[in-house]
Structure 1
Amino acid sequence: MFKSLIAASVLAVITGCATAAQPTEGNAEQAKYTASDKAERLAKEYLLVDTHIDVPYRIHDKWEDVTEATAEGDFDYPRAVEGGLDAPFMSIYIPASYEQSGGSVQLAHELIDGMEALVARAPDKFAMAYSTDDIRSNKEQGLMSIALGMENGTPIEGDLDNLHMFYERGIRYITLAHSLSNHISDSSYDIRRQWDGLSPFGKELVKEMNKVGVMVDVSHISDEAFYQAVEISDVPVIASHSSLRSYTPGFERNMSDDMLKALAENEGVIQINFGSSFLAEQANRYRDMMKKRINAVKEQYGEDSDEAKRRIKDIEANNPYPFATLDTVLDHIDHVRDLIGVEHIGIGSDYDGVGDSLPVGLKDVSTYPNLVQGLMDRGYSDKEIEMILGGNLMRVWEQVEDYAETH
């Protein structure tokens, strides 16, 4: 399942040339990222929260029992335990097309039902988590928390009663829009800016989310919508799965330095996305580069000619997808720390949401210790690592909970 238009387009280009995209030497590069015993211990000891994993839509589309080891995907229980994951926020992802087609409320309920069924099938492994207290209690009991975030606010359908309903069903953050603008907000991917930020209802929704206790997620929305959201919100916001525009110039889906500064003033957190197209300029521009070269060949030799097919095959073989690496992820983390402080950094991997574009060294949920090792190697203290793995996100969530209790 490829959620973002960018990831879908990139992977559509490289479909059929997986061997070229993952050369043998890539395995050696993967192997160089090896976690020490201490890194593995810290990953398991500290509370590890990942705010964006796309299991619900993955198994809704093609069911697998992720309570056991699976052949496909980036998440299953054994690998998550190996990686030290305590609290995945499972994404209740609603494709942007549902804004026009209808049916978004039904799909949201189905995806939530799927997560509740997951817990029911393996109560010795998983437990639902509706609060920060639940997260901590589940960890103490040796259970992996299943928390829920809604990616795309389309199911709110302009009715604040739906916000309350989805809160009761366990939704604890809402990404206001996705790849197209909706009735709440403009999208960073959508050239149409019908609201110049948030809609009038979107502004009302942000205030109500504060009162209810649902975190405002500013990933995916336009710059104008972001600034309006942080101004309107009385509590910190999160970017549940975003990275930095300074490494991907022109990619509005990521956050600029000015946005990071505004996020810091809001006391919010950016949860770093692991998708290569979010991390590295070369990967971000790969799709457009390949499309231009392939179209030029088709125009010169004829779209269905044998010569065009041969040349396109050579282009694909000689231009493998330029995966980011663990070091690229660490560069993003360093940049946030140096600009606004370590207290604003977390993890929002987008596992099961960015297809085969994950970086070398962080290919699935078993590899969080590699991240910990990288942070150790770059001089982060144990306390700072604890903050990045989950402490910062829990601080924001608690502030949201406390505000809702008194309003």
Structure 2
Amino acid sequence: MSPDTPSPPSTFGPFRYPAFRAIWIANLASNMGSMIQAVGAAWLMTELTTSHTLIALVQAGATIPIMLLGIFAGAIADNFDRRRVMLAAQTGMLIVSALLTLTTYLDAITPLTLLFFTLAVGCGTALNGPAWQASVRLQVGPKDLPQAISLNTIAFNLARSVGPALGGMLIAVVGTAAAFGLNALSYLALIVVLLRWHPETVPPRRTPMLTAIAAGIRFCARSNPVRRVLIRGFAFGFGAAGFQALLPSLVRDRLHGTEITYGLCLAAFGAGSVVGALLIGHARRRWGSDRVVTVAALVFAATMLPVALTSGLASIMGAAFVAGGAWVSTLTTLNVAMQLRSPDEILGRCLSIYQAVTFGAMALGAYAFGLMADLTTLSIAILTSATWLGMSALLLRIVAPMPSRDEGRLIP
């Protein structure tokens, strides 16, 4: 490298910024609690019902609100102070998680009430997501933005590595209600940090809600690079949802495992995600986003073969590890592509549309493959999801390639 060639940004460069560092640590604690609650809810449903569809709907329930409410949340993030929006969302999720804890402790939980609480937490996630992702620009400089996005992904997946196994052990030792209660407490750290954070911002110019939403949809529809990113997000989200939605049923019916077994499988997925998040920046700079997204989808599809055809814990955990790396490589690359091609004044709306499309596809996929597992078998449902991923990855590389490095780019 010549002396005049700028060095690539450091993976850990965003930690130089105190605001990013504090929010990252608090968000890690919150994500840890969320993972513990997710394990508890999924496993609790396996104890309440034998229906694969209802079990898969626990995963879908966390993402359906993002599809239905995400675009409104994006308009809210652009029309109001994003820090206050995040505070409102975190406080709401704390209250819902506390009510879920109480209901479970009183042994009054049913499949429908569990789905209701899952949907309610999903509504908080839908409101929080666009404001949180758009606020990353307030925490770091433009040069460190892609690395900050990757580090946020690492925080989520560090929690995914430790949280599920910890959740499984908590459920086994002290019960599901205690796991839900720990999640309620985990929101407090991020709430305190947000109360102390006061970034310098220009007051947003408020526009009527429907007008604001229309502006975001219009930009995404007219921008060819953004439109292709959304297509890739939908295709991957729909196919990849099959694995996580059916994993609780797989552990119960195929492995005859316990909540600890389920937590270990999720922990392997999270560990792979952490490794993928650490490597994805270099891979994207070397091979480009299109090749990364295509190869990651194909790798995820390939990992579904041992999941569908074997019944050994070691092989499924190994497949989950590789799938986690492919998962985070795809979603981080798609997120960066959206951030770099969205105008700041409508950033929240653009990110909410991306979330609505990608996570909405995950909700649809979870329901579709759960229903297929009830009508056929778990193996057929998982193999079908793998087929969708593989075929869509190869086809979309031709008809909807990821934007090239400078195509439609608005952030230097």
Tell me if TM exceeds 0.5.
no
Bigger proportion of residues as strand = 1
Bigger proportion of residues as helix = 2
Tell me the TM-score normalized by structure 1. 0.25
